[in-house]
Amino acid sequence: MKKIKEKFLNLIDMHQGIIHKIVSIYTYQEEERQDLFQEILLQLWKSYPGFKEKSLFSTWMYRVSLNTALQYKRKIRTEQNAMINLKDNISNYFQVDANNQVISLYMAIDELGQVDKAIALLYLEQKNYQEIAEIMGMNKSNVGVRINRIKNKLKKILDYEQ
C-alpha cells in the first residue's frame, strides 16, 4: 500500500499542473478552487486502482479531473442555482498585468457549455484530436467537428465584444 501511495503521489506531483488548469477554468473563487482541487485529488485517488496504464497517466488524469469538474459544477449549480458572472468579477480572477486578449479569451470560454470548455482547454493545451477524444470519451471526428464549432462560437463572442 505504501508503494502504491508513493507512486500515486509522485505522479500527481509531476502532473499537478493539469489539475490547476482545470480548476482555473471551472472555478473562479479561491474557496471553490480549493474545494474542486481537493475533490479532484480524492477522485483520482479513488480511481487510481482502476488505472490499467493502457493510456498515459496524464490522459487518464485529464479524463478523471474533467469529469470531476463537470460533476462539481453541476452540483454547485443546483445548490446555488446561479453561476458566478466572470465579467463582473474579472479583477478577482486574473492578475492585474494579464494581457487583455487572454482575459477576453477566458471570458469567451466562460460563455461556452461545460463540455465545450473542457475541449477548449485541451485544445489550448495543444492536445491532438486523438488525445482529446480519449480524454473526453468521444471519437476523433466528433472532436474535430466540436473544435471547429467552438472556434466559430469564440470568434462570434470575441467579435461581438469588440
| pLDDT tens-place string over residues 17-68 | 999 999 998 888 888 899 999 999 999 999 999 998 888 999 999 999 999 9
Cell 470531476 locates to 68
Confidence category of residue 162, pLDDT binned at 50, 70, 90 = low
How many domains does the structure of the chain reveal? 2
Gap between the Cα atoms of 27 and 30, Å rounded: 8
Q: Which of the four pLDDT bands, split at 50, 70 and 90, describes residue 158?
A: confident
Same domain, 44 and 108: no
Do residue 74 and residue 103 come from a single domain? no
Distance CA 32, CA 26 (A): 9
| 49 and 17 co-located in one domain | yes
Q: Any idea what the CATH number is for the domain that residue 153 is in?
A: 1.10.10.10
Nine-digit cell string for 81: 442555482
The rounded distance, in Å, linking the Cα atoms of 51 and 36 is 21
Q: Are residue 78 and residue 111 in the same domain, yes or no?
A: no
Last residue of a domain, one of 58, 83, 108: 83
What pLDDT sits at residue 99? Answer: 57
Considering the domain architecture, whether residues 7 and 69 belong to the same structural domain is answered as yes
132 and 155 housed in the same domain: yes
Domain that holds residue 114: 97-162
